[in-house]
Amino acid sequence: MIQIVLLIVKVILLLLILMGGFAYTMLAERRFLGFFQLRLGPNRVGPGGLFQPLADAVKMMLKEDLMPLQADSVVYRLAPVFSLLAALSVDAVIPFGAPIHIFGQTVSLDIANPGIGLLIAFAFSSLGIYGIVLGGWASQNKYSLLGGIRASAQMISYELAMGLSVLGVLMMAGTANLENIVLAQRAQGWFFLPQIIPFLIYFTTAVAETNRTPFDLPEAESELVAGYHTEYSGIRFAMFVMAEYINMMTVSGLAVTLFFGGWLGPSFLPPIIWFFIKMAIVIFVFIWIRATFPRFRYDKLMSFGWKVLLPISFIYFLGTAAFVSGIL
């Protein structure tokens, strides 16, 4: 009984963290982008713009929810839900901190801790693409459709390199359980040192998977208006944006778990704080990249994924396999 109550409490806490994280990641991104571009950014609502997310939320909820006449109404409504659902469910398997002891119970700081946690995270994140493709198709608008089609081609191409890049970590840790991967890094040191090239590939593909600059071809405003969410407004548009930011937090969390020792850190701060500090640094790099790089050209993007990232990660994967098995 107490287990079920604990589980519900953990789910609610995770949702609150993700939603709050989404709101303030977005605010941080807008303010940082302002600084990068030598302007102020949103700083009017509350001290330093801290209440801006609340104002945005109220605005989004009160906006009229529009739907094009020719749109496929069922799929049009389903798409943002699917997007957000896939984004949220990945976080269920990420361990946010070391297990804690409270009220005589040992509580692990994740919703579920399956033996194949890493694969489950990839399975859920591979579903996120449906929201984008379906949203683009259901709008019955050529720009939206192009955005959706670009997204599906891009995400499938980069998913392969992403999957191959984390296999090295999986082999070094000898397990696909995310908690054990973190514990293995306590013994072997953080994996980003021996796996530096896979880490860079993972990070590049993560930027592409979350459709952010310089890989934001699906929503390239100079050619596609806003891509797959051109026709969306109000709360449904907000759900697409939420999914994008939560995906960004998720891939950052996975990067921290796989390559930067998860919650490990000096003991003067609790483990969960270490996890969020590392995650915040990775998210800051995401924002930094967005402020720095111009957008790829589409054919360059595809050939970069297939002809550069995939072969390199495959070669490094084979090398890691030879090293781990003791041949080298």
List 105's β-bridge partners, or say none.
Answer: 102
**Is 140 near another protein (CB under 8 A)?**
yes
Query: Residue 125 — φ and ψ, nearest 5°?
Result: -70, -25
- The Cα-based distances of 44 to 51, 65, 170, 304, 311 in angstroms read 9, 27, 47, 42, 49
Q: Which two tokens stand for residue 118?
A: 């890493």
Under the binding rule (CB under 8 A), the answer on residue 88 touching another protein is no
For tokens 């003791």, what's the residue? 326
Non-local (6+) Cβ contacts of 143 within 8 A are: 224, 225, 226, 227, 230
Stretch that binds another protein, among 19-27, 46-54, 150-158, 210-218 (CB under 8 A): 150-158
Cα–Cα distance measured from residue 115 to residue 315, given in angstroms and rounded to the nearest whole number: 27
Going residue by residue from 57 to 76, which x/- string records binding to another protein, judged by CB under 8 A? ---------------x-xx-
Nearest alpha carbon to residue 156 among 288, 305, 22: 305
Per-position DSSP letters for 208-222, written without gaps between them? HHTT-TTS-GGG-HH
Residue 129 lies near another protein (rule: CB under 8 A): yes
Backbone angles phi, psi at 132, to 5 degrees: -70, -45
**Least Å from the CB of residue 202 to another protein:** 17
Candidates 207, 67, 212, 82; CA nearest to 134 is: 82
Out of 33, 50, 116, 289, the only residue in the binding site for another protein (CB under 8 A) is: 116
Angle at 126 between CA 124 and CA 127, to 5 degrees: 65
C-beta closer to another protein: residue 79 or 282: 79
Q: How far is the CB of 270 from another protein (least distance, A)?
A: 31
- Which stretch in 100-108, 115-123, 219-227, 248-256 sits in contact with another protein by CB under 8 A? 115-123
How many residues in the shown chain lie near another protein by CB under 8 A? Answer: 31
Query: Nearer Cβ to another protein, position 32 or 122?
Result: 122
Q: Which residue from 49, 136, 198, 261 is in contact with another protein, where contact means CB under 8 A?
A: 136
**Using CB under 8 A, which of 88, 176, 183, 241 touches another protein?**
176
Nearer to another protein, 156 or 273 (CB): 156
| Diameter of the chain measured on Cα atoms | 63
Distance CA 152, CA 228 (A): 11
Q: By CB under 8 A, name the one of 18, 87, 92, 133 that touches another protein.
A: 133
137 vs 75: CA distance, rounded Å: 9
Binding segment for another protein among 34-42, 139-147, 213-221, 309-317 (CB under 8 A)?
Answer: 139-147
Stretch of residues binding another protein (CB under 8 A), selected from 89-97, 123-131, 218-226, 272-280: 123-131
Q: Would you say the C-alpha torsion 14, 19, 25, 27 has a positive or negative sign? A: negative
Q: How far is it, in rounded angstroms, from Cα 10 to Cα 100?
A: 13
180 binds another protein (CB under 8 A): no
Question: Which residue of 93, 134, 264, 283 would you call a contact of another protein, by CB under 8 A?
Answer: 134
Residue 53 Cβ, how far from another protein at the closest point, in Å? 32
Q: Which is nearer to another protein, 126 or 233 (CB)?
A: 126
Nearer to another protein, 109 or 138 (CB): 138
Among 114, 194, 214, 234, the residue binding another protein under the rule CB under 8 A is 114
* Token pair belonging to 307: 């002809």
CA–CA distance, 307 with 84 (Å, rounded to integer): 31
Applying CB under 8 A, the residues found at the interface with another protein are: 72, 74-75, 78, 114-116, 119-120, 122-124, 126-127, 129-130, 133-134, 136-137, 140, 142, 145, 148-149, 152-153, 155-156, 159, 176
